[in-house]
Amino acid sequence: MSQSSSQSKTGCGKPIIAILIASVTALTAIIAFLQADAAQRDDRANRDSKRYALEAFGRKVSGDARVNFDYYKAYQEWYELDLLANTATRRGETNAARRYTALRDKIEKLSPLLAPPYFDRAQGKVNVAKYEADTYVIEITELTEKFNAATAVKEAWDAKAGTYIVHLTLLAIALFLFGMAGLLSATAARVIFTATGILVTFVAFSWAFLVLIQPVPDLRATNAIPAYARGVGLAHQGMYKEAIAEYDRAIHAAPDYANALVDRADAYSNLGDHLAAIASYEKARALDSKSARVSGNLAWEYYLVGRFDDAIRINRAALKENPGEAWIRFNLGLALLASGKLSDASATYSETMTATANQVAEAKTAGKEPPYNLWWALDSAAIDLDNLLAVIESGKGEPPRAKITNVDLARPIAESLIAQLKSYAVALEYTGKPPVGSLAAKISALEFGIPEYDAKGNITDYDVNDEFEYGIDEIAAIFDYAGMKNGDQVVFKVYINSKENPSWRLIASWDLDATGSAHRLMSPGYTDTFVFDPGEYSVELYVNSQFAQRGTFRVK
């Protein structure tokens, strides 16, 4: 009786198992179809991303070739001929002036850069940024963003396709369990195998369904990328207000468009709207907290509005993700200094300078050039401290003076750090090692004057001033010195509007007396057309890589 019952149950169970196996096979076919679909979308996006990258590369090279020709050849020819025409006019050579002018005008017809809207003939200036934007910047940006979008789509479909493989594996296990259940004669074992198979099938099916309904956003399907590219083109021309309007359009179309949020924040920052910049950077950071650029710039904006604790917090978080970023370390030191944490600030600057020296030493040992951004980081750190001192002195600028803590104690520390940073930059650049010892020589404050000559061409005196009219072609930096030694290395650096102009740099070996007065003439002697451009000029003097003295003058 029991045997017949068992047989009856077996007879009833086997068709059910057969149906289960067939159903799971059908389900497997469906998920295999979904997997194939996901894999194909993955392949397509992968192909598209490569296609965009190749196209962007080709267009960048061709665009660069075109702009380089138009600026460095066509405009240079125009500029030279214009200069020659002016010089000939000044010398009274009218025929030569007429020839150069006529030729200059003919050259204008050979390049679109020398035509409106890029060329201001009256001023003789070209708007290269607009030309670059129209020629290739917008196009390249669009292609690059499409590349990024396609890569994101590829990754999403790749993940989906990979997950479907897991589901197929689970279904294969379920089929195995059902197959085992069909072979077993013991009822309990058959039920356990069948139930487990059903459970595994249910898990695989539910999981596959969740993966199926998960959307794959594609930025290319919105009109965000063209708007963003136009924004980049406008920002490239310094038209930040107009760029923000385009970035807004891009963000409206795709609220999680991180690049648009970051670039909009940059544009706000350039316009001095730090609160709007902070809001935009914060949104961007919520999408990508690992980016050094986003976190570093957000911390900088916090610093500029006087939120030093936030600046310190974000800088520290950014350094956890990107410990090698010297500029963020220096910004951390600056925020610490402004917030009154003076010893922490000094320690941070000191550690960063040592780390910089180690990086230079490692590069030299490996026979490589140290990364250029090290000098930039050291220079920028000194300039930022200079700006902080200017705020402390004048009460104007950013961060607000009222928010700076321990102003009297911060001032001497900032001055000392500036000297250290500047010495480090020069010492690392010329010796590959940190500066050794301290400054032995004494140099007076630098003064500036227009030299006065006698009939024999010797300088007799200087018209000393710290502000000069536009049109001057020669200025001398004048100083007294003591304790100098023959052979001491002397470096002069000239900054125009806070940016060093390396063509003005002078490296020399000291060959004057130990004590006395000296001057350094600033003027290219090979041309009679040079005049100083308007701006603020800062001249720095280094002796044996030690920052010795500096001075500033303005040309109106």
Interacting residues with other proteins (CB under 8 A): 15-16, 18-19, 21-23, 25-26, 28-30, 32-33, 36-37, 40, 43-44, 47, 50-51, 54-55, 57-59, 61-62, 65-66, 68-69, 73-74, 77, 81, 95-96, 99, 102-103, 106-107, 109-110
CA–CA gap between residue 10 and residue 17 (Å, rounded) = 10
Q: Which CB sits closer to other proteins, 174 or 243?
A: 174
* Residue number with CB closer to other proteins (31 or 318): 31
* Termini Cα distance of the chain: 116
Q: Is 96 or 506 the residue whose CB approaches other proteins more closely?
A: 96
Which of 29/199 has CB closer to other proteins?
Answer: 29
- Smallest gap from residue 66 Cβ to other proteins (A): 6
Q: Which is nearer to other proteins, 77 or 256 (CB)?
A: 77
Shortest reach from residue 488's CB to other proteins, in Å: 46
For residue 273, the SS3 value is: coil
Q: Which is nearer to other proteins, 150 or 278 (CB)?
A: 150
User: Cβ of residue 106: shortest distance to other proteins, in angstroms?
Assistant: 6
CA distance 468 to 152: 56
The token duo for 292 is 């050094």
- Closest by CA to 491, choosing from 536, 428, 449, is 428
Smallest distance from other proteins to CB 15, Å: 4
Q: Please identify, using beta-carbon distances, which residue of 147 and 257 lies nearer to other proteins.
A: 147
Measured from the CB of residue 232, what is the shortest distance to other proteins in angstroms? 21
Interstrand relation of 459-464 and 447-453 (parallel, antiparallel or unpaired):
antiparallel
Complex with other proteins: residue 22 or 186, whichever CB lies closer: 22
H or E element in which residue 207 lies: helix 187-213
- 200 token code pair: 């595994």
Q: Which is nearer to other proteins, 182 or 231 (CB)?
A: 182
| Amino acid residing at 301 | E
Instruction: Report which secondary-structure segment, H or E, holds 553.
Output: strand 546-555
Contact 522, 417 (CB under 8 A): no
C-alpha–C-alpha distance, residues 242 and 271, integer Å: 11
Q: Least distance in Å: CB of 26 to other proteins?
A: 4
In SS3 terms, 51-103 reads as: HHHHHHHHHHHHHHHHHHHHHHHHHHHHHHHHHHHHHHHHCCCHHHHHHHHHH
In angstroms, rounded to a whole number, what is the distance separating the alpha carbons of residues 193 and 178?
A: 7
User: Do 131 and 70 contact (CB within 8 A), yes or no?
Assistant: yes
Q: How far is the CB of 16 from other proteins (least distance, A)?
A: 7
Note whether 504 and 455 are within 8 A (CB). Answer: no
Distance of CA 400 to the CA centre of its chain: 26
Q: Tell the smallest beta-carbon distance from residue 47 to other proteins (Å).
A: 5
Tell me the CA distances in angstroms from 548 to 430, 491, 539, one per residue in order.
16, 10, 11
Give me the least distance between CB of 196 and other proteins, in Å please.
21
**CB closer to other proteins out of 157 and 330:** 157
Residue 484 near residue 543 (C-beta atoms within 8 A): yes
Minimum CB distance to other proteins, residue 179 (Å): 14
